[in-house]
Amino acid sequence: MVRIAFIHNSFPAGGAERVTVDIARYLKRFGGYQVFVYAKRITESLMSDGLKDILTVRPLPSKAMSAGRTKAVESYVVADHIDVLVQVGKSLPGIEGVKERTGCKTVMACHGEPFWQRHVIMHRRQKGFVRRLMWHLWNRRRFEDGTLAMKMAKERTLRDYALNDAYTVLCESYRNEVIKALGLDASRAHIYAIENAERVIGDVCYEKEKTVLFCGRFENWSKRIDRLLRIWAKVEPVLDGWRLVLVGDGRDGKMLRSLAAELKLERVSFEGMQRDVAGYYRKASIVCLASETEGWPLALTEGQAQGCIGVAFDATSGIREILDGECGFAVPAFDEAKFAETLIKVASMDADEQMKIRVNAVRKRSEYAPEVIADKWKKLFDMLVIQ
């Protein structure tokens, strides 16, 4: 029996957690594997009996210092006889000690674009009075063009790469970017491209409503929903009967609702957080993102699976690989006027043109079907265990 554990902040939650469930379900059917999840926050109301059948969830101390959480993870690794420990998004502090004392293999799974930390660094340098003061007095010249933030992000990535037995990224383009930026030997680098999975929709609805859909966290520094609202202010007067639907919520929800009112938008609907978003994708004609950073955005692939036409800024290679020109549109980042033009263009296409793109989108989704992606993870686990 091969025993694998994934570390998450919250479970079940968003896209990364859904991928873990897909992997666990596939390995359960295959046999010979047992999957565990270690998480700080566990939403018991979402832990169905079916979910409990395919994986075991263990709680981590949510209020403990990082050393306390590391100690808890290590105790679970020993008790559960874990062979492979997968850190999702962030490397566990002290992971080298955990490896040495337990003998488990470790994987760092990057669920953002390469060097995503630079965006967080730039955001945090301007957050809070003390940090803003430091920004203006000492760090502005060092940080304002982003070069120092990128340097710091590369250093963190190199450290994560060196400390783990495998480092995964979300597409082959990202693998090439990391290898080049870190000066690694491509033939020997333990970096593996594994996309996020997307499930099959058995009855895709091609009879769409005049709806442009956004699904995601209301976290404006990364998702930049303010851009989308400004874009819609340009589009709304042109597209009669069309509406923008925003599904989700978060810390910036109040600010974004105020911005919509300030822009005097008439056909915008804030739907709040929804447990089941499939119905929104089923009806939507277009799904869009205006993000500053994305890894492999599930909002776009979920839209593809439901026959939606994707429109997003081409901020990352992952977005360009999903919207490859035949199943959606990658707009030059961050040209809001061009984005508005693209939405108007797509909405104004005749039915045959739209149908061609929708069919291509559904076909594209098959490249990252759950069984395809889970098999990539299985091969990685098997390779690590026999090393």
Please give the pLDDT value at position 56: 96
What is the C-alpha separation between 51 and 54, in angstroms, rounded? 6
H or E segment and range at residue 128 = none
Amino acid letter, 101: R
- pTM, rounded to two decimals: 0.90
Ordered structural domains, the chain, with CATH: 2-111+164-197+369-386 (3.40.50.2000), 211-367 (3.40.50.2000)
Please give the pLDDT value at position 119: 85
Task: Give me the residues of the chain with pLDDT under 70, please.
Answer: 63-65, 124-145
Please give the pLDDT value at position 45: 78
CA dihedral 41, 46, 52, 57 (to 10 degrees): 0
Cα–Cα distance list, 282 to 265, 276, 333 (Å): 24, 11, 28
Please give the pLDDT value at position 125: 64
Please give the pLDDT value at position 95: 94
Please give the pLDDT value at position 230: 98
Please give the pLDDT value at position 64: 56
Q: Where are the beta strands (DSSP E) in 116-190?
A: 166-169
